[in-house]
């Protein structure tokens, strides 16, 4: 039996909110993959800081018991790595606050950046052409991931 190499993913803040605050059942397979180790989610300190700031927005603070507990769950599922730029040029995201997710995906040699952000999704074709990593919505990612899991189980 061969060991399964985990698929490396970067998950943007909004998808993390769906997973850890709103507990959106549509992404339960994604959460299971993270929990089982089949998926390895990567972030870095500035994105984790963004996560904590967003949790404290008044309209979101009412949606969870406490930011510390939700951040502990985030930390349990998502590895925070130190930046290690590869020097490989990236396209520039029209939303400068989202550029960091591209950088993390590049630096962590991620397979996929999972996002619902339109500015990032607009770069999906460029990233595919550059053969670096895929940029996909959670729905797109899960369609592919479930098929891959089914093939592995066969």
The pLDDT value given to residue 88: 81
- Taken in order 37, 39, 45, 51, is the CA torsion positive or negative? negative
Structural domains counted in the chain: 1
Residue 138: which domain range? 7-153
Report which DSSP code applies to 109. T
Is there a domain that residue 30 lies in?
yes
**136: helix, strand or coil:** strand
Q: What is the pLDDT along the chain (154 residues), one digit of tens a residue?
A: 345 677 999 999 999 999 999 999 999 999 999 999 999 999 999 999 999 999 999 888 777 878 899 999 999 999 998 766 666 889 899 999 999 999 999 999 999 999 999 999 999 999 989 889 999 999 999 998 887 877 766 6
- Please, is 27 exposed, middle or buried when counting C-beta atoms within 10 Å of its C-beta (0-12, 13-18, 19+)? buried
Alpha-carbon distance of 117 to 44, in angstroms, equals 18
CB 84 within 8 A of CB 107: yes
2 belongs to a structural domain: no
Domain assignment present for residue 110? The answer is: yes
Asked if residue 73 belongs to a domain, the reply is yes
Say what the pLDDT of residue 89 is. Answer: 85
Q: Scan for tokens 């963004």, then name that residue.
A: 50
Q: What is the pLDDT of residue 71?
A: 94
Contact 116/24 with Cβ under 8 angstroms? no
Task: Identify whether 1 is part of a domain.
Answer: no
What pLDDT does residue 2 have?
44
Contact 148, 140 (CB under 8 A): no
Domain of 85, CATH number, reads 3.40.50
């Amino acid at each position: 039996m061969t060991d399964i190499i985990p698929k490396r993913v970067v998950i943007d803040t909004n998808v993390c909110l769906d997973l850890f605050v709103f507990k959106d059942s549509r992404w339960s397979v994604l959460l299971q993959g993270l929990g089982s180790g089949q998926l390895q989610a990567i972030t870095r300190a500035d994105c984790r800081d963004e996560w904590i700031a967003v949790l404290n927005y008044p309209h979101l603070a009412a949606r969870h018991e406490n930011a510390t507990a939700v951040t502990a769950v985030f930390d349990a599922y998502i590895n925070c790595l130190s930046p290690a730029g590869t020097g490989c040029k990236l396209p520039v995201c029209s939303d400068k606050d989202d550029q960091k997710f591209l950088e993390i995906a590049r630096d962590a040699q991620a397979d996929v950046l999972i996002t619902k952000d339109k500015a990032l999704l607009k770069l999906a074709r460029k990233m595919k052409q550059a053969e670096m990593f895929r940029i996909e919505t959670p729905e797109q990612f899960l369609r592919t991931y479930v098929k891959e899991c089914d093939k592995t189980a066969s």
